[in-house]
Amino acid sequence: MSASQDHPPVRTLISPARYAQGPGAIERLGELVAPVGRTPLVVADDTVWSFVGDAVARSFDAAGLPLTRDGFGVYATAAAVDSIADRVREVGADVVVGVGGGSVIDAVKAAGHLAGARWVSVPTVASTDAPCSALSVIYDEDGGFEEYRFFPHNPDLVLVDTRLVANAPVKFLVAGVGDALATWIEARAVARGDGTTMAGGAPTATGTALARLSWDILWEHALPAIDAVRDHLVTPSVEKVVEANTLLSGLGFESGGLAAAHAIHNGLTAASQTHGLTHGQKVNIGSVTQLVLEGAPVEEIRAFVEFTTRVGLPNTLTEIGLTPGDVDDLTRVAELATAEGETIHAMPFAVRVPDLVDALRSIEGFSRRVRADAGLPEPVPHRAH
Ligand SMILES: [Zn+2]
């Protein structure tokens, strides 16, 4: 992710070859996978398979594709990736299709790359912006961040059935909003500096604009979409928010650039108190902290805290199982967040550990005051499980 010594970085935008979204889209999976490969391996855990299996089988049958389905565990660990890659070789698959949440999709991308197959993302929730990218995040057995793995191309197909997204528990959509709100905050910081992006170059105006569009859609549509999904309804707001969480945030983070918020998320995964929280919940703590760290206008931070409280995202340490007094834990988080190679170094200024620790400790009092002033509920403590 660093520029060559002799040349300025090349502006780069990358994307999946095809993105398809709509209610009932899963019924078209076979038809859209067929041009990518003729011998697919589908990876989905038993719970996901119980509600998509019939539709996938029908669509594969109609497209004349054989169906082989493998299960999946919990995290995209190096071992999980290796075992899927082994199965791709065993089955002789030319395309591997990940169906489910961010973890199975990340594992399938990494396995497809290792085994020399193409890969397809079929998110059944809109909880992260993982599905569209040409990278995977690898975790350890406890869900701790291990590494980013980068691939030479994005998925050939990303297919999202908004009916499935609306039928899933609303907490997944809320998490996706947290992940997607960070995209503009981070892309904006990268564009201000001379940072490089996850696409391996300088940001294009296009990548940065897509991050901004994701933000604008979420401020307008996130609350009505969350209400609709709570009742398992697909409305135009739901369609827009699913696209913002999945496609726009995916293109925006990858080609617009990550900065402090995701580095702070990665640091937080090492604090056992945060276990059991979603990616998007931890990312939102990173977003608030980044806004503080960069000295964003107070009105802007205040509005962000109010909005994310209404969305149902954490913006205090209490809500992620920590307190401002946990200085040792927060120092460890800050050390990991500022490790060599972390995206925090794409910020337009150098971030030092003590500054990050103070920013993290400050969000408790700030967010509590904002919430009290706005008549919003007090934070509920998170208990790790
Ligand atoms: Zn993310």
Token duo for residue 96: 């591997």
Q: Where does the pLDDT of residue 6 fall: very low under 50, low under 70, confident under 90, or very high at 90 and above?
A: low
Residue 137 Cα to ligand 1 midpoint, Å, equals 9
The pLDDT of residue 2 is 47
User: pLDDT, tens digit, for every residue of 189-223?
Assistant: 999 988 889 888 899 999 999 999 999 999 999 99
103 is in an annotated binding site: yes
331 is in an annotated binding site: no
Q: What architecture is the 19-167 domain classified under in CATH?
A: 3-Layer(aba) Sandwich (3.40)
**Ranges of H-type helices in the chain:** 29-33, 46-62, 78-91, 102-115, 162-167, 170-192, 205-230, 236-243, 249-256, 260-268, 279-293, 298-311, 327-337, 353-373
Nearest to 120 by CA among 93, 146, 148, 83: 93
Residues with active-site annotation: 179, 262, 265, 279
* Rounded Cα gap, residues 251 and 208, in angstroms: 9
Q: Taking a C-beta distance cutoff of 8 angstroms, is the pair 24, 163 a contact?
A: yes
- Please provide the average confidence, as pLDDT, over all residues in the chain: 96
Instruction: Tell how strand 135-139 and strand 145-150 pair up.
Output: antiparallel
Kindly give the distance from the C-alpha atom of residue 181 to the centroid of ligand 1, in angstroms, as a whole number: 10
**Tens digits of per-residue pLDDT, 345-367?**
999 999 999 999 999 999 999 99
pLDDT at 385: 66
Quick one: pLDDT at residue 3? 45
- Nearest by Cα to 286 from 336, 211, 240, 341: 336
Bridging pattern class, strands 145-150 and 95-100: unpaired
User: If you write DSSP's letter for every residue of 256-319 in order, what string do you get?
Assistant: H---HHHHHHHHHTT-GGGTT--HHHHHHHHHHHHHHHTT--HHHHHHHHHHHHHHT---SSGG
CB 60 within 8 A of CB 28: no
Q: How far is 222 from 312, CA to CA, in rounded Å?
A: 11
Query: What are the sequence ranges of the domains in the chain?
Result: 19-167, 170-373
Distances (CA, A) of 337 to 46, 190, 346: 35, 16, 12
For 102-114, what is the mean pLDDT? 97
Model pLDDT for residues 304-333, shown as the tens digit of each residue = 999 999 999 999 999 999 999 999 999 999
Distance between CA atoms of 127 and 153, rounded to whole angstroms? 22
Please determine, for residue 4, whether its predicted confidence score (pLDDT) is greater than 80.
no
Residue of 197, 199, 191 whose CA lies nearest to 14: 199
Mean pLDDT along residues 76-83: 97
Query: For residues 21 and 41, is the Cβ–Cβ distance under 8 A?
Result: no
59-71 pLDDT, tens digit per residue, is 999 999 999 999 9
Q: How far is the CA of 176 from the centre of ligand 1 (A)?
A: 8
Other Cβ atoms less than 10 A from the Cβ of 237: the count is 20
Amino acid at 373: D
Please calculate the CA angle 9-138-123 and round it to the nearest 5 degrees.
90
Distance 268 CA to ligand 1 centre (A): 13
Instruction: For residue 90, report the distance from its CA to the centre of ligand 1, in Å.
Output: 32
Least confident interval from 139-143, 146-150, 279-283, 284-288 = 139-143
> Is position 237 annotated in a ligand binding site?
no
Give the pLDDT confidence of 263-288 residue by residue, as tens digits: 999 999 989 999 999 999 999 999 99
86 in a known ligand binding site: no
Rounded Cα–Cα distance for residues 157 and 120 (Å): 5
Q: Helix 205-230 vs helix 298-311: angle between axes, to the nearest 10 degrees?
A: 40
39 is in an annotated binding site: no
170-373 CATH fold: Dehydroquinate synthase-like, alpha domain (1.20.1090)
pLDDT-derived band at 239 (thresholds 50, 70, 90) equals: very high
